[in-house]
Chain A
Amino acid sequence: MKTTDSIQKDIINNFKTLDDDFEMTLNYLIELGEGLDEFDDKDKLEINLVKGCQSKVWLNYKVKNDKLIFSGDSNTSITKGLLSLLIKVFSNQLPEDIIKTKLFFINKTGLCRFIGTQRSNGLESMENKFKIIALANKKSNE
């Protein structure tokens, strides 16, 4: 299984091919979002909502062999693309690995520049939600 750092490096390499083109990056994000597994409407609950995002973002998870498998959805296509990248990094990892992961791909892909400050805050809220889930599951393992 790849580490969260090596997944982030893969993402950075994928984004390099876009050559910092704003339009291509947005379209790529939309495509990534469309590639997410379908999120069951019955899981669109208040408890799964990520607080602090301008658009609606839901995040759910299940535990398989002590690892966390995430699923998610958003009512906006571009946010859904960003969420799909976070799911790619954090899914199928042990809670303790998720907690200690430092997200560096956002700056290295230049996504911060594209998504604007408000959405950056939303991204931070999404990251926190992953880590809170990981923390909760780490405690239950001890």
Chain B
Amino acid sequence: MSVKSFNLVKIRDQFPILNKKINNHQLVYFDNAATTQKPKKVINAINEYYSEYNANIHRGIHTLAEKATIEYEKTRKSVSQFINSKSEKEIIFTRGTTEGINLIASSFVKNFLKKEDEIIISEMEHHSNIVPWQMICEENGIVLKTINVLENGEIDLDNFKELINDKTKFLSIVHTSNTLGTVNPIKQIIEICKKNNITTMVDGAQASAHSKINVQDLNCDFFVLSAHKMYGPTGVGIVYGKEEILEKMPPYMGGGEMIKEVNFLKTTYNELPYKFEAGTPNIGDVIGFNKALNFISDIGFDNISSYEKKLKDYASNSLNKIDGLKIIGNSKNKIGIFSFTLKKVHYYDLGLLLDSKGIAIRTGHHCTQPLMDKFNLEGTARVSLAIYNSKEEIDYFVEKIKKLIN
């Protein structure tokens, strides 16, 4: 595929799983907010690593170790370019967004916030951006506050400003909601934080495959993401942190790789980013992630944004025509994530009945129980779109729902 051109057929052709039949029907994969499918080049890269140059990285001097180290570090460079960090030292590999948030909670917040300081999150956070803060707050006497979400699924900026006071030291907020699809005004929120000397962390798990992330432009202190929501493998995530902040932070875990020198009187730690990467990392999947970043960059965010917006608008119009269907989250700025309820069919039945037609959707609370409580719901059905989805798939899905409710 040539750079900056967009050809859906060629894109779909890169995903072997999309040809699969599920329950005798062509797979329609609409659970992309949970995890995206993987293109051949990612699968092949992982296969190639294990078949051709499997070795532990950074420590070996032999040829295989050298090759594995080079490929592994290439991904760090690609991530750095992908999110426009100042330096590759600011890119730390983790197992995923959840581990990234826990790293920041344990290493930064625990050490740099004190009793009675305050952390702000929002009502639309995923459990992974709630529970680590609750744990750290409980342990250290820190106060956790939440920004209201408005009825249309947008963040209540006035409420956010009201929550800020002299004790507010840290904000952690989701860039794009996994349940509502809302894209938050992150830059504006960070600007407000900067004026108030609040350290900021952005949960970019849902955003990073759909819009260009520029951490220097955002001016956030931390940004976390997961490879598997970006057409990459599971078990790989990124913590971006500003170098001067990461330098001050103590290691998160002890072990091999993160040390400079070990003796029983005093151990000294390795330099950035290695002091946060204890133990043998997920080498094969990190290498695979590089190919996922290539896949996204080859299409280009201009093409991605333009196609995904068209698809989102098409899905929105189609869903809104279904009798008794209510979309939860109608923010003006949102991506193709649609949580909805149906008057006549429970979301659980809907999920199974659509599965029998080959359509994979998500049902339940989507790891956002406080948000469900807010909207007085036990759960919803959720359709989440990705670059390989088509209007035809949306038509098929809508047709099946209409048939079910009639």
Contacts and interface: CB of A to CB of B under 8 A. Distances in A.
Interface of A: 22-23, 26, 30, 54-55, 75-79, 114, 116
B325 interface: no
B356 A23 contact: yes
Given A54-B348, A55-B346, A75-B346, 8 more contacts: A22-B23, A22-B356, A23-B356, A23-B357, A76-B349, A78-B349, A78-B352, A116-B352
B296 interface: no
A78 B354 CA distance: 13
Nearest to B353: A26
B355 interface: yes
A25 B9 CA distance: 34
Interface string B358-375: 000000100000000000
Contact of A22 (B349, B355, B364): B355
Nearest to A23: B356
Interface in B4-26: 23
B346 A77 contact: yes
A114 B352 CA distance: 9
B364 A76 contact: no
Interface string B335-355: 000000000011011001101
Contacts of B352: 26, 78, 114, 116
A27 to B, nearest CB: 9
B364 A54 contact: yes
A50 B162 CA distance: 42
Contacts of B355: 22
B357 A77 contact: no
A75 B379 CA distance: 13
Given A22-B355, A23-B356, A23-B357, A55 B348 contact: yes
Nearest to A33: B349
B346 A23 contact: no
Nearest to B357: A23
B388 to A, nearest CB: 24
A75 B349 CA distance: 10
Nearest to A116: B352
Nearest to B379: A54
20 contacts: A22-B23, A22-B355, A22-B356, A23-B23, A23-B356, A26-B352, A26-B353, A26-B356, A54-B348, A54-B364, A54-B379, A55-B346, A55-B348, A76-B348, A76-B349, A77-B345, A77-B346, A77-B349, A78-B352, A114-B352
